[in-house]
Amino acid sequence: MKITLLLAAIIILFSACAIDHPSPISGVPRSLNESTFFENVNASAVPEENLPISVPVLHRVENSIRATYEPEGIYLGAWLSANTPKRDFIAQAGRNHAVFVHEMHADDEIPVMWILQCIAALATPLFVIHPPLCEDAPAGEWITYLAYRLGTFNLPMFIAFYPTGLGEGHDLNPQEYSAIFRFSRAIFSLHAPQATFVWYTPSLDSTTRNPFFPGHDVVDWVAVSLFGEEQLGAFESFYHRFRSHHPMMVLPLGVSHFSRQNHTYRVPEAVGEIGRVYQALSGFPRVGLVVYGDAFGLPRTGMDDFSIFIEEDLMTAYRSAVTGEHFLTALERSPSTTASWSRDSRFAYLYEGRIYIDVETLADLSIPAPRGAVVINERNFIDAARLSGFGIYFCWDRNVVFIGS
Is there a single domain that holds both residue 174 and residue 306?
yes
Is there a single domain that holds both residue 232 and residue 330?
yes
Q: Pairing relation of β-strands 124-130 and 99-105?
A: parallel
182 domain-assigned = yes
Is there a single domain that holds both residue 26 and residue 93?
no
2 domain-assigned = no
Residue 332: CB atoms within 10 A of its CB come to 15
Positive or negative torsion for Cα 22, 27, 31, 32: positive
Is there a single domain that holds both residue 172 and residue 193?
yes
27 domain-assigned = yes
Is there a single domain that holds both residue 114 and residue 202?
yes
Residue 330: CB atoms within 10 A of its CB come to 14
DSSP string, 344-362: EEEEEEEETTEEEEEHHHH
Q: How far apart are CA 215 and CA 320, in angstroms?
A: 38
Number of domains, the chain: 2
Is there a single domain that holds both residue 311 and residue 351?
no
Q: What is the pLDDT of residue 7?
A: 32
Q: What is the pLDDT of residue 65?
A: 82
Is there a single domain that holds both residue 241 and residue 315?
yes
Is there a single domain that holds both residue 208 and residue 111?
yes
- Give the domain range for residue 104: 67-334
Q: What is the pLDDT of residue 23?
A: 27
Last residue of a domain, one of 334, 350, 365: 334
34 domain-assigned = yes
Q: What is the pLDDT of residue 61?
A: 86
Q: Considering only CA atoms, which of 5, 16, 8 is closest in space to residue 44? A: 5
Q: Considering only CA atoms, which of 102, 244, 245 is closest in space to residue 160? A: 102
Is there a single domain that holds both residue 239 and residue 297?
yes
CB 357 within 8 A of CB 384: yes
The per-residue b/e assignment along 364-380, b for 16 or more CB within 10 angstroms, e otherwise, is: eeebebeeebbebeeee
Is there a single domain that holds both residue 162 and residue 294?
yes
193 domain-assigned = yes
Q: Considering only CA atoms, which of 285, 286, 296, 225 is closest in space to residue 256? A: 296
Last residue of a domain, one of 334, 354, 379: 334
Is there a single domain that holds both residue 243 and residue 361?
no
Q: How far apart are CA 359 and CA 394, in angstroms?
A: 18
Q: What is the pLDDT of residue 44?
A: 32
Q: What is the pLDDT of residue 340?
A: 84
CATH classification at residue 163:
3.20.20.80
Q: pTM of the full predicted structure?
A: 0.82
Q: What is the pLDDT of residue 109?
A: 95
5 domain-assigned = no
Residue 198: CB atoms within 10 A of its CB come to 25
Q: Which residues neighbour 167 within 8 Å (Cβ) at sequence distance 6 or greater?
A: 202
Is there a single domain that holds both residue 384 and residue 278?
no
Last residue of a domain, one of 294, 315, 334: 334
> pLDDT 10s per residue in the chain (405 long)?
333 333 333 333 333 333 333 222 223 333 333 332 233 333 333 334 578 899 999 998 887 788 999 999 999 999 998 889 999 999 999 999 999 999 999 999 999 999 999 999 999 999 999 999 887 778 889 999 999 999 999 999 999 999 986 545 678 899 999 999 999 999 999 999 999 999 998 877 655 678 899 999 999 999 999 988 889 989 999 999 999 999 999 999 999 887 666 767 788 999 999 999 999 999 999 999 999 999 765 445 556 888 899 899 999 999 999 998 999 999 988 767 777 899 998 999 998 889 999 999 999 999 999 998 999 988 999 999 999 888 999 998 889 999 986
3 domain-assigned = no
Q: How far apart are CA 119 and CA 387, in angstroms?
A: 49
Q: What is the pLDDT of residue 14?
A: 32
4 domain-assigned = no
